[in-house]
Amino acid sequence: MRKIKTCRGAAKRFTVLKSGKIKRKKAGHSHILTSKAAKRKRNLRKNTLIDASDAVQIRRLLPYA
């Protein structure tokens, strides 16, 4: 049986923590920042966890994480 390939796009976007939760970056912090408030941009810098409903799908993309 061959090894399962990791989805490289998902590997660059998600990190699996020791607790098993999956960390992600927030969207919307790459361009058109002049029209966004400072508070909004500050909150976009922070990492967050993915929702539990999406976790099963992401784990399938990251078989060895």
Q: How far apart are CA 44 and CA 34, in angstroms?
A: 14
Query: At 43, which helix (H) or strand (E)?
Result: helix 38-44
pLDDT, tens digit, for every residue of 21-32?
999 999 999 999
From the list 26, 15, 19, the residue with the least C-alpha distance to 48 is 26
Higher pLDDT, 65 or 5: 5
CB 47, CB 24: distance < 8 Å: yes
Give the domains, in start order, of the chain with CATH numbers.
8-61 (4.10.410.60)
Give just the sign of the alpha carbon dihedral 49, 53, 56, 61: negative
pLDDT for position 19: 95
> Token pair for residue 63?
């078989």
Give the global pTM.
0.85
